[in-house]
Amino acid sequence: MRTPSSLAIAEPGPASPASPAGGDIRLASPAEVDYAALQYKIRSRGALDIVFRAENRRSPLTRSFQSGCLRLRVPRTETASEAPAAVIINTAGGVAGGDSLSQSLRWEDGARATVTTQAAEKVYRALADGSPATIDTRLHVGAGAHAEWLPQEAILFDGSALKREARVLLDARATFLGVEAVVLGRAAMGERLRAGYLSDRLRIWREGRLVYADAMVLEGEIDRLMRRAAIGNGMRAMAVIVHAAPGAPALLPAVRDVLAEARGCAAASAWNGLLAVRLIAPDGEALRHDIASAFTVLREGRPLPRVWRC
């Protein structure tokens, strides 16, 4: 394993014929390296700009821009007419303070596709100045398109800071199903998010009119805050599911029936062509169980993407 000094800033030395670049490379010693300054310079960046189009009962990609640490892969489907289930991969293995992920996805008129993530997004410690990691998502769903945005949960570690925002633009005749989930420390590992920062925002527009808005901010001693009855009552995982479709309200009784067996606390309501489910659970495992229960109705019995079950 290389030592920290061998990974530090390199400086040019005197010219040497043995050096391919025409000069020696001198590795800085640990005493010469300002590690506090380096953490601000070496940050992870990732961007996606993806477009699905409708073509002969299929929905291939018509645009696939990928940069930095973000990649998108579309595994083969069992049948040619089956809607693709695209998987977003963060090759950095998580995000930390100062990191930035930008995701833009568009479903053109009539396209059908599910987009998920390879694994839960790990959110590690913030920078010394408290700068958060940012995840910015933009979803555009055209007329007659069926879009599913099903990322796995974000897991926040102690001392982390995350600013996450999703904006969804829907055509009048679009169908959308989305979930945003967060887990405050891994209960199975005995972890607690004692202190940190979380800003989570979701906005949905239909035909340019704001039809759904959800915002949450937790800051400071988050574990203590979540123990308060009016905030979390000791729960440590939460999610919101939104289904926007002409027939969404009719699914409300069935959704409430399956959530009667929730391992955490669950509530569902419907209005104006929307069905919203709010979940809070003692840990990530219970939250996943309750999300899957709601999806048995909202996804009409179709199984969750394979990466959710790995």
pLDDT tens digits, 276-293: 999 999 999 999 999 999
Split into its structural domains, the chain has a count of 1
What's the pLDDT at 310?
Answer: 72
* Model pTM score: 0.84
Burial (CB < 10 A; 0-12, 13-18, 19+), residue 310, is exposed
C-beta atoms surrounding 223 within 10 Å: 19
Q: Angle CA(58)–CA(211)–CA(280) in degrees, nearest 5?
A: 85
Comparing 127-136, 216-225, 235-244, the range with the smallest average pLDDT is 127-136
What's the pLDDT at 7?
Answer: 35
Q: Is 306 helix (H, G, I), strand (E, B) or coil?
A: helix
Question: 3-state SS of the chain: helix, strand, coil percent to 5?
Answer: 15, 45, 40
Beta carbons of 242 and 211 less than 8 angstroms apart = no
Mean pLDDT estimate for the chain: 86
Could you tell me if residue 97 is inside a domain? Answer: yes
> What are the tens digits of pLDDT across the range 28-76?
555 654 545 545 555 789 999 999 999 877 788 899 999 999 999 998 7
What's the pLDDT at 188?
Answer: 74
Assigned token pair, 228: 């308060």
Beta carbons of 102 and 47 less than 8 angstroms apart = yes
Could you tell me if residue 88 is inside a domain? Answer: yes
Could you tell me if residue 1 is inside a domain? Answer: no
Could you tell me if residue 105 is inside a domain? Answer: yes
Q: Which domain holds residue 151?
A: 40-232
Q: Token match 């990322």: residue? A: 151
Burial (CB < 10 A; 0-12, 13-18, 19+), residue 160, is buried
> What are the tens digits of pLDDT across the range 79-100?
555 678 899 999 999 999 899 9
Could you tell me if residue 222 is inside a domain? Answer: yes
Could you tell me if residue 225 is inside a domain? Answer: yes
> What are the tens digits of pLDDT across the range 117-169?
999 999 998 877 778 999 999 999 999 999 999 999 999 999 999 999 999 99
CA-CA distance, 179 to 277, in Å (whole number)?
9
Q: Angle CA(198)–CA(304)–CA(202) in degrees, nearest 5?
A: 30
Could you tell me if residue 177 is inside a domain? Answer: yes
> What are the tens digits of pLDDT across the range 180-219?
999 998 877 778 888 999 999 999 999 999 999 999 999 9
Does the pLDDT at position 9 exceed 80?
no
What's the pLDDT at 83?
Answer: 78
Does the pLDDT at position 250 exceed 80?
yes
Share above pLDDT 70 across residues of the chain, in percent, rounded to a whole number: 85
Could you tell me if residue 298 is inside a domain? Answer: no
Q: Is 70 helix (H, G, I), strand (E, B) or coil?
A: strand
What separation, in Å, do the N-terminal and C-terminal C-alpha atoms of the chain show?
31
